[in-house]
Structure 1
Amino acid sequence: MKGRVKSAVWPAAVLAVMALSAAGCGKTSEDARTQVRMVQYKPEAVKVFEELENEFNRTHEDIKLTIESPNDAMTVLKTMFVKEEIPDIVGIGGDINYSNFLDADMFMDISDYEGLSEVKEVYLEIDKNLEFVPLKGTYAVPYAGNAAGVLYNRTMFQENGWTIPTTWQEFLDLCERIKDQGQQPLYFGFKDTWTCLAPWNAMCADLAPADICARVNRGETVFKDAYRETAEKILKLIPYAQKDPYGYSYNDACTAFARGESAMYVIGSYAVPQIKSVNPDMDIDSFVFPAADEAEQNLLNSGIDLQFSVMKACENKEAAYEVLRFLQEDQNVQKYMDAQNAVPCKEGDFELPSMLDGMLPYIREGKMADYQDHYYPAEMTVDAMIQTYLMEGDPDAFLGKFDADWKRYNRDIIRKVKEFERDGEKEGGR
C-alpha cells in the first residue's frame, strides 16, 4: 500500500548476519555521551523526526540521538547488516519486513519496557499475528497506525442528503442512488496496481479472519474458501467506477476526487495530503468500508504504519529505552500525528484529523483488523493478481492461483510452521 514499504527478497548474506554484533548503544563519542542511532523507514516524515531528534538532544545531557531517514530504508538497512553497521533502533512498519526481521532473530525482546502498557492492545495483537511462528516476548513498540476505508466528499453528501451506509446492501443502494442522480459514485486508480489492494484490504477486514494467512500456513483452511466472499463482492464495485479504471493512476484518482468527479474514493487516509494538494479547501470525511451484511461485523482496516524495535546488537538497552520513553511522551506522539495524519497506537486523548471523524468510534473501541497484504510476500505480486482478476472476473481462477502461488512463495514459512507444530513451543519459541 502507499506509504508502506513492500517486502524484498532477503538474501542469505543478510540472514547470516543475525548473530553478528556491531557498534551500537553504549559507544561514546568525543563529547562522552552515549550514542543512540536510529534508522526509520519513512522519508516523508524526515522533518518531524529532525524536530524530535533536536528536542531529545536538547533535553538529554547523557545521550546523543541520531535519526537517519533514508530513501528505500529496507534496502539500506539490509546493506548495513551485511557491513555490520547495525543501528540501535529501527523504525519500520508492521508488515512482512518486520516478520522477516523477527525470523532473522535481529530484534531484542523488550517485554520489560514499561511503555508497552500504554499501547492499545489491538496493535500488540497485530504484531503477534505477524510472527511466522509464535515467539515468546515482545519485539516492537507500535507507535502510529493508519486507517483505510472510504473517503467521501462531505459537502456533496450534505447537499444531496446521502447517508453513511453501514451494511453491504446499504452501500450498494447508495452507489445506485448516486448513479441514478447522474453523478459518479466511485473513482479508482487501478493503473497503479497497488491501489487495487485498498478495497481488497478494507473488505477483507470485515469478511476474512485477521489471522487467515497463519491458518492457511497451518493447513487449517485455504484461500479459495476464506477469500470467496471478498472476491465476489469486490467485483460489484466496478460498475460504479469510472469507465476503464485501469487506465487511470493513483494521482489521477486523487485529482478526480479532489475536483468533485466522484462522491467517494476507496483508499486510505494517507491519500488525503495528495487530494488536498489539488483542492486545499475540500471537506473530506471517511467511513469504515461496510462489506459485511450486518453492521456489527464491520471492522476498521488499520495497521501499524510505524513502530520501533531495539536491535539485539544494542549494547545499552537503557539508553534505547530512554529514547522510546521520549518518543512516547504525549506531546511527541501528537506532534507526529499532526505531521503525518496518523492514528496513535498509544492509549490517550489525542486530537485526530477531521477526515477520520467517521472512523473515531472504531479507533476508540479498538475495532480494527490489519491489512491482509502485510502478510503477502512481494514475489506473489498480489496487487497485480487482483487487477487481472477485476478485469477478467473469474473468481475460481483467481482463488485457485492465489492458493497455488501462496504455497510456492511461502514454502519455507509453511515448513517452519509445520516444524513448530510438530516440535511444540520448546523448539519454536525464543
Structure 2
Amino acid sequence: MRKVKLFTWAALAGILGSGMVLSGCGASEKDNEKTKIEMVQYKPEAVKAFEKMEEKFNASHDDIELVIESPNEAMTVLKTRFIKEDQPDIIGIGGDINYSNFLDADMLMDISDFEGLADIKQAYLDIDKNLEFIPKDGVYAVPYAANAAGILYNKDMFEENGWEIPETWNEFLELLDTIQASGQQPLYFGFKDVWTCLAPWNAMACDLAPADVCQQVNRGETTFSVEYRELAEKILQLLPYAQEDPYAYSYNDACTAFARGESAMYCIGSYAVPQIKSVNPDMNIDSFVFPANDSADGQILNSGVDLQFCVMEDCKDKEAAYEVLRFMLEDENIQIYLDDQNAVPCKEGDFTLPSMLDGMKEYIEQGKMTDYQDHYYPAEMAVDAMIQTYLMNQDTDAWLKKFDSDWKRYNRDLIRKVQEYQEENGEGGSRS
C-alpha cells in the first residue's frame, strides 16, 4: 500500500502517512428514489451564485438532488471530513497546491471519460497538468472559472492625460516616469498585507521565469537563483513609483486609494474590482497584461484556475456526478458565475466578460496565459512574507540564496519523490 509522504495537512498526514486508505462511504445516496449528490465548494463569496444553480438544477431534475455547501474555511472543513471518512461527491477548489495534495493522496477520480472536458480551454487543462507533483495518467478536474492579474488602471485618468498602454518593460518604465513627472501617483501597493506582494511577483514571473520553474528545480535542472534573478531585480524597480512606505498600507487601503483616484494604476488581480467599486461604483476601470520583458509579442497573461470541480474517488454514483458537471458547464450557468464573481470562463464559448478585462480579452481568447507561481509554493515556506522582507532589505543575492535553501527545506520529501520517479523511469536529474 502506497505511503503518502507529502501531504502537508497535519491532521490528515497522520492518517495518510500510516498507509491507511480513506475508503469513505461517499456522500451520494438514494433518497426517495432520488440520488443525492453533495458538493462542497470553497468560495463562500460565491454562495448566491451557487444557490441559484442548486435551485435551478433541482427544479430541472427529478432523479437527482443536488446539495451544495459553501462553508467558510472550506478547506479546513474538507480536511476534517476526510479524517472522518465523510467525503462529499464533488469538491469545488482552486488550482493550487491544495489540489496537488489531493492528487498526491489519490483522493480524486480520473474523469478522462467526461465528455465536457473537450470544451475546456487547453491552457487551463495544461495548468492543471503542471500542478501534478509526479506525472499522472488521466484527468482529475474540470477547470470552471479563472481570474486574471496584471495592471488595473484608471481609464478616465489615462484618457484625460493621453497616456498610452505600454507593451514592453521599457515602455512601462517610461509611462511610470511620465505619470510621476506630472505630479500624479503612478502605483499604489498594500504591502502591509503580505499576500499582496505576490500580485506583481506572479504577474511579472509570467514573462521572466519558466512556467514550470518549480518542477525544473525539483528535478535538479536549475535553481531559483538563476531563474528568478531578473524577476527579483525588476520588482525592486517598481518601488520608487509607489506611495511612501507601502508596507504601512493594507489591501483595503490600496483598493480605497485607487478607487479615489490617488494612483493611476494598481497591480492586482481582477478579484479586487468588487472591493474597489464598493468605494467608487462609477469608477471606469480597465486592465492590461503586465509588460515585464522587452518583447511586445512575448507578454503572457497571469491567469490561474480559480475554481474547478473534482469528483472524489469514493463517489458512489459517477453518472449522477457527471450530470451535475454537465449542468454546471451549461453556458447560461457559467454566465451566472461570471457575472457574480467578475471571473474568466475556462470553457470555450461566447461569454460576456467584465468590462474591466477588456484589455486582457485578446489573451484570454487566445489562451495566451500561464499560472500563478505561488500556486506551487508550500504554505509553510511563507513566500509572500519572504518577498515583503526582500522588498524592504533589497539584498538580491542573499534573498535568492535563501529562496533556494528554503525550497529544499520545505520540499525535501517532494524532491526525493521526484528524484525516485526519475530513477524509476530512466530520466535525468541530479541529487540535491
TM-score range, shorter chain: over 0.9
| C-alpha deviation, 1:415, in angstroms | 0.7
The 5 Å alignment of 1:210-359 reads: 210-359=211-360
Aligned mates of 1:312, 1:69 — CA distance in 2? 21
Aligned mates of 1:409, 1:35 — CA distance in 2? 40
Aligned mates of 1:318, 1:69 — CA distance in 2? 23
Match of 2:9, SS? coil
* Structure 1 unaligned blocks of 5 or more: 1-6
The 5 Å alignment of 1:66-85 reads: 66-85=67-86
Q: For the Cα contact (< 8 Å) 2:211–2:373, is it kept in 1?
A: yes
Aligned mates of 1:373, 1:307 — CA distance in 2? 17
| C-alpha deviation, 1:420, in angstroms | 0.6
Q: Which amino acid is the alignment partner of residue 263 of structure 1?
A: A
Cα deviation, 1:317-354, whole Å, max 9, x if unaligned, reads 00000000000000001111000000000000100000
Aligned mates of 1:377, 1:415 — CA distance in 2? 16
Match of 2:67, SS? strand
The number of residue pairs the alignment matches comes to 419
Q: Which shows bigger deviation, 17-26 or 51-60?
A: 17-26
Which residue does the alignment assign to 1:3?
none
| C-alpha deviation, 1:8, in angstroms | 6.1
Which residue does the alignment assign to 1:396?
397
Which residue does the alignment assign to 2:21?
19
Which residue does the alignment assign to 1:9?
9
Q: Which amino acid is the alignment partner of residue 22 of structure 2?
A: L
Aligned mates of 2:366, 2:343 — CA distance in 1? 17
Q: For the Cα contact (< 8 Å) 1:207–1:292, is it kept in 2?
A: yes
Q: For the Cα contact (< 8 Å) 2:28–2:89, is it kept in 1?
A: no
Aligned mates of 1:34, 1:346 — CA distance in 2? 27
The 5 Å alignment of 1:72-221 reads: 72-221=73-222
Aligned mates of 1:349, 1:144 — CA distance in 2? 14
Aligned mates of 1:188, 1:8 — CA distance in 2? 31
| C-alpha deviation, 1:377, in angstroms | 0.2
| C-alpha deviation, 1:28, in angstroms | 1.1
TM-score (norm 1): 0.96
Q: Which amino acid is the alignment partner of residue 379 of structure 1?
A: E
Cα deviation, 1:240-283, whole Å, max 9, x if unaligned, reads 00000000000000000000000000000000000000000000
Aligned mates of 1:335, 1:27 — CA distance in 2? 28
Match of 1:302, SS? strand
Cα deviation, 1:108-145, whole Å, max 9, x if unaligned, reads 00000000000000000000000001000000000000
Aligned mates of 1:195, 1:26 — CA distance in 2? 39
Aligned mates of 2:344, 2:109 — CA distance in 1? 25
Which residue does the alignment assign to 1:378?
379
Output the aligned Cα RMSD.
1.4
Match of 1:267, SS? coil
Q: For the Cα contact (< 8 Å) 1:149–1:288, is it kept in 2?
A: yes
| C-alpha deviation, 1:20, in angstroms | 2.5
| C-alpha deviation, 1:13, in angstroms | 3.2
- CA pair 166-379 structure 1, distance change in 2 beyond 3 A: same
Cα deviation, 1:9-40, whole Å, max 9, x if unaligned, reads 343235358722223355212x2200101000
* Structure 2 unaligned blocks of 5 or more: 1-6, 428-432
| Identity, % of aligned positions | 70
Q: For the Cα contact (< 8 Å) 1:153–1:284, is it kept in 2?
A: yes
Match of 1:28, SS? strand
Which residue does the alignment assign to 2:430?
none
| C-alpha deviation, 1:230, in angstroms | 0.4
Q: For the Cα contact (< 8 Å) 2:390–2:396, is it kept in 1?
A: yes
| C-alpha deviation, 1:297, in angstroms | 1.1
Q: Structure 1 runs of 4+ off > 2 angstroms?
A: 7-11, 13-26
Which residue does the alignment assign to 1:4?
none
Given the alignment of the two structures, is residue 64 of structure 1 paired with residue 65 of structure 2, yes or no?
yes
Aligned mates of 1:424, 1:315 — CA distance in 2? 34
Which residue does the alignment assign to 1:362?
363
Cα deviation, 1:282-327, whole Å, max 9, x if unaligned, reads 0000000000111111100000000000001101100000000000
Match of 1:301, SS? strand
